[in-house]
Structure 1
Amino acid sequence: MTEHEDRKHEERTQRRLDARSLRGLAHPLRMQLLDALRQRGPATASQLAERFGESSGSTSYHLRQLAAHGFVEDAPEQGKGRERWWQAVDQGLVFDSADFADANPETRGIAEMYLHEVANSHARELSTWLATRGDWPTDWSEGSDMSNATLRLTPALAAELITKMHGLINDYRSLGHEADSQDTETVETVRIHTHLFPISTD
């Protein structure tokens, strides 16, 4: 299984996770902090603490751990006082299960925790949209989607479908950049979740 995560960015740098970096990232709060810095831009530990209902000491600690593993860095151009500002280093993550096939049990357990937290994040984002969709213009009701489909595929066909879906998303990414350059008022950041997995029909 390959899990891709990326954010809007002019130069979408992606980082492939390995055992060491995964160990530094696979914590629910750290993943939320990194996600917030990618989506919303630079922030201080205090700002992030308020957003997530944590103490600034806790967010500071986890931000330092993320920095030690190269996920975040100082944003000195944002600093206008003594408080430290942080920004994300990479704008995308790539997790490939094949990279951990021969890992020790501890590392495999960390990988499983990471994937479950990604799934939890997707569920939270979808729940937030459902709870707040009335605050958005009605056009976004037509421009949103929550659907599922059941197909009969081989692993090779499933991988081909995933590649084509990702290619289509990238095509629309460039169209979004064009709309941004025209200062179109209706352009918004959108989230797309894709899940493809086999199910038992016994």
Structure 2
Amino acid sequence: MTEIRLDAKTLRALAHPLRVRLLGLLRADGPATATGLAQRVGETSGTTSWHLRQLADHGLIEQDTDRGNKRERWWKAAYESTELRIEDFRDDDESAGALNAYLYEIASNSYRRMTTFLAQDWDQSWRESFVMSDQELPLTPDELKALRNELHEVIDKYRRPQRPGDEIVVTQLQGFPRQSKR
């Protein structure tokens, strides 16, 4: 699995809602053209092309040279997963706005994905299998980190190539403190 660790430069490139969506679509669904992506996100192909070029300039996507021709440019994600370490930006005031914009868009995309599933007509077996749950636990930061790592290990146990009859299942993991009214 190829992974990219966000630095200040790539974070600023991703601090735009449309770019996060375009990159997410390319990572989830594979190569596409600016025109095809524009139709999916409700933008013009010119706008989509410009944002795709910005993503390419920062090494987040690349041309898929196995597809298309001189008039039709196909794009693909340049990596499979993103690593963001908040501590990399702790003392970087210039990146604070980009970090907040990026995190907000990631959370918005998670919400959109779940509500899209809820609005679709899935077979009963999938409807009975899905999970939407929240649990509140009293934890320390170290315990939350350990929980996160253990849950990632569980998810990795199920990672395998796709087989006939499979559907791609989105797993969303969130763990964060909330301010209590004490």
Shorter-chain TM-score range: over 0.9
Equivalent position amino acid for 2:102 in 1? Y
Are residues 1:141 and 2:127 paired? yes
2:167 to 172, 178, 188: 188
Letter in 1 for 2:20: M
Question: What is the CA distance between 1:200 and its match in structure 2?
Answer: 2.0
Give CA-to-partner distance per residue, 1:125-166, whole Å, 9 cap, x none. 11101111x2x2111012210001011111111110000000
CA deviation profile, 1:157-200 (whole Å, cap 9, x unmatched)? 111000000000000113xx2xx3xx432x11011111111112
Deviation at 1:118, TM superposition (A): 0.5
Q: What CA distance in whole angstroms lies between the structure 2 residues aligned with 1:85 and 1:46?
A: 10
Name structure 1 gaps, 5 residues minimum: 1-11
Amino acid at match of 1:154: T
Cα distance, 1:79 vs structure 2 = 1.1
Cα RMSD, aligned residues only: 1.1
Match of 2:143 in 1: 157
Q: Please state how far the C-alpha of 1:80 moved relative to its aligned partner.
A: 4.2
Report 1:89-108 matches (<5 A): 89-104=78-93, 106-108=94-96
Is 1:70 aligned to 2:59, yes or no? yes
| Cα distance between partner residues in 1 of 2:65 and 2:158 | 33
Q: Distance in 2 between matches of 1:79 and 1:170?
A: 34
1:8 is aligned to none
Distance 2:69 2:12 in 1: 33
Shift of 1:26: 1.2
Q: Secondary structure at the match of 2:84?
A: strand
Q: Which amino acid aligns with 2:106?
A: V
Alignment of 1:74-93 (within 5 A): 74-80=63-69, 82-93=71-82
- 3-state SS of paired residue (2:46): helix
The number of residues matched between the two structures is 181
Who is 2:108 aligned against?
120
Instruction: Give, in whole Å, the separation in 2 of the partners of 1:79 and 1:51.
Output: 19
Runs in 1 of length 4+ with deviation above 6 angstroms?
none
Structure 1 length as normaliser, TM-score?
0.87
| 5+ residue gaps, structure 2 | none
CA distance in 2, matches of 1:92, 1:20: 17
Question: Given the two structures, how large is their TM-score scaled by the length of structure 2?
Answer: 0.96
Shift of 1:81: 5.3
Q: Distance in 1 between matches of 2:85 and 2:96?
A: 12
